[in-house]
Amino acid sequence: AFSPDGQTLAIATGATRDPGEVQLWNIKTARLRNTLKGHTASVHTVAFSPDGLTLASAGDKTIRLWDPETGQLRAVLEGHTANVNSVAFSPDGLTLASGDNRGEVRLWDARTGQLRMTLQGHTGVVWSVAWSGDGLSLASASGTSEVRVKDTSEDNTVRLWDARTGQLRATLHGHTLPVKSVAFGSDGQTLASASREVWLWDTGADHDGVTLRSAGRAFWHRQQGEQAEEGGDWFAAAFHLGQLRRDVAEDRIIQRHEESLGKLGRWDLVATTLVEARRISADPNLAFRLAVAQLSAGDEAGYRRTCRDLLRQSGPEAEAGLAGMLVGLTPNNVGNLALGARLAARPSPLNLTRSRTVRACLLKPDVLRQLPPLPEGARPAYLGGALLCRLKRYDEAVAVLGPLQEKEPTARLYLALAEFGRGNRNQASKALEAAARIDLMGSPWEERQECELLRREVEELFAPGRMDRVP
C-alpha cells in the first residue's frame, strides 16, 4: 500500500507459519526506511489511514496500528478468531474494517481500537473489504477456502453493508469462483468485484438498488448458451458452452456441452473434450461418458481401451459392474461380451446390475445370449417388456409395454419396435411420435444416452428399404 502522499510504500511479508513483518520503503531513494515486527504469522494486508498518520497491518488473528513515521506500535486490536485477510480505513479515517477466514467482517474505532460492530452473513472466507467514497457503505468479498463456516456450500458473493447500522443492503450473486477483491470507483456508485473475471455493479446513489452493469466473458457465454439451448440452436449452444467450460469447472456445464455436441452428431468432439477432462479428474463417471461417446463416434478401439482403463481402477464393486456394462456393449466381440456378462452378474451395492446394466445390454441383442439369469425380483415390468421385444415376442411385449408408457417414457420406443415387428407400421409411427415428446432433462445422463441410442435405432427402421428389418 502507498501512503497518501506517495512517498512511502508499505509491504506485507512472511511465510505461512513464520512471523511476518511490515517493510516501509522510501519511494524516492528506493531504500528500506523501517521494519515493523510483532505479528506471529504472515502479514496478509496493510492499509494507510487517509491522513497517512496511521498504518494498519493484519495477517494473524490480530490487527496492529502503527505510527508509520516512527515505527511505534500504537494498538493491537484483538477479537478475530481466524486470520485476517483484509483491512480498510473509512474515508474519514475514523473507522477500520477487517475481514477474516471465518466469514466475519468487523468495524473498529480507529482512534480507540474499540470494536464497534460485527457483520455476519458470509459463509466463506472474507478476502477483501472496501468503503464507498461517502463512507456510508462497505463492500465485502467472499469465497471458498479450506476453512468452512457452518458447513455450508460455496459463498462466492459480494455483500453490501450499511456502515452506520451494520444492516445488510444487498448480496450480489453470480461469481462461480471465490471473489478475491472489491473496490469502489471514484463516482461512488460503481463497484468492481474480481474473481477469475472482473464484474462491474451499479450500486445507485443510495447503494440500495444494485444492478449488474458489466460482467466478464464467462457470464456472457453462460447467458448465450442458455438462450441457444432454449431455442434449439445447438451449434451456438455448443460454441458458448465450450467457451464457458474453459473458465467454469462445473460438471453440469461440461455435460451440457457434451449434450449440445451430441445433438450435432459430433460424438468425436465429445470424446475429445472428455479425454481432456479425464486428465484433471479421476471421476469414473467421466470414463463412462467417454466410452459412450467413443461408441457413438464409431471408435471401438478407443471404446474398449476406456472400458479396460475403468476396469483397472480400484473402487467399489459398482464400478466394476458399470465397466462390465460398457464392455458388454461392444458389438461383434464375443470375448468382451462374455466378460461383460460375467461382470454384469456380480453383486453391486448400487444395483447397477438390476437397472443400468440390463437396460444398456438391451440395446445390443447379442448381449442377451451371454447374460446369465438375473435374480428373482430383479426384472421389473419395463425391463421384461424390453426383453420380450428383443426376443421378438412382439405380442407379449406390446401387452406389457402398453400400460407403462406414462410411467416409463422410454417404453414408448420399445413399444414402437414391437409394433413394427408385428407389422403395425401406423401404431409404430404413433409410438415414435409420442416418444419424441419425452422430456428427460432431469434424468440421469446415462438414461438420456440410452434413450438417444434407442431413438436412433427406431428411426432407422422407418428409412426407405428398412421396413422388414427389426432387431
Q: What is the pLDDT along the chain (471 residues), one digit of tens a residue?
A: 999 999 999 999 887 667 889 999 999 999 999 999 999 889 999 999 999 999 999 988 999 999 999 999 999 999 999 999 999 999 999 999 999 999 999 999 999 999 999 999 998 899 999 999 999 999 999 987 544 433 334 688 999 999 999 999 888 887 878 899 999 988 888 889 988 778 888 887 654 557 665 556 667 777 788 888 888 888 888 888 888 877 666 677 877 888 888 888 888 888 888 887 777 776 666 777 787 777 677 776 787 677 667 656 544 444 444 444 444 443 333 334 334 434 443 333 333 333 444 444 444 444 444 444 433 333 345 555 666 676 677 887 788 778 776 766 677 888 888 888 888 888 888 888 887 776 666 666 656 666 777 777 778 877 655 444 444
C-alpha dihedral sign at 232, 234, 240, 242: positive
Number of neighbours of residue 185 by Cβ within 10 angstroms: 14
Q: How much is the pLDDT for 317?
A: 40
Is 40 strand, coil or helix? coil
Number of neighbours of residue 5 by Cβ within 10 angstroms: 10
The three grid cell numbers given for residue 152, joined into one nine-digit string = 455450508
421-428 long-range contacts, Cβ below 8 Å, gap at least 24? 421/389, 421/392, 421/394, 421/470, 422/394, 422/395, 422/398, 425/467, 428/458, 428/461, 428/462
Dihedral pair phi/psi, residue 314, rounded to 5°: -75, 145
- Helix, strand, coil % in the chain, rounded to nearest 5: 40, 20, 40
Give Cβ neighbours of residue 376 (< 8 Å, ≥ 6 apart): none
The three grid cell numbers given for residue 395, joined into one nine-digit string = 405380442
One-letter amino acid for residue 124 of the chain: G
Q: How far apart are the first and last CA of the chain?
A: 74
Q: How much is the pLDDT for 442?
A: 63
Whole-angstrom Cα Rg for the chain:
31
Side-chain half-sphere exposure of 460, counting CA atoms within 13 A = 9
Integer CA distances (angstroms), 444 to 255, 269, 335, 354, 440, in order? 11, 21, 29, 16, 8
Q: How much is the pLDDT for 301?
A: 77
C-alpha dihedral sign at 27, 30, 32, 38: positive
Dihedral pair phi/psi, residue 137, rounded to 5°: -130, 150
Locus of grid cell 416409463: 408
Q: How much is the pLDDT for 149?
A: 38
Integer CA distances (angstroms), 198 to 87, 119, 174, 176, 426, in order? 21, 25, 11, 12, 58
Residue 61 contacts residue 78 (beta carbons within 8 Å) = yes
Give the containing element (helix H, strand E) for 77.
strand 73-78
Q: Indicate the pTM of the whole model.
A: 0.50
Cross-strand pairs, 84: 100
Q: How much is the pLDDT for 266?
A: 86
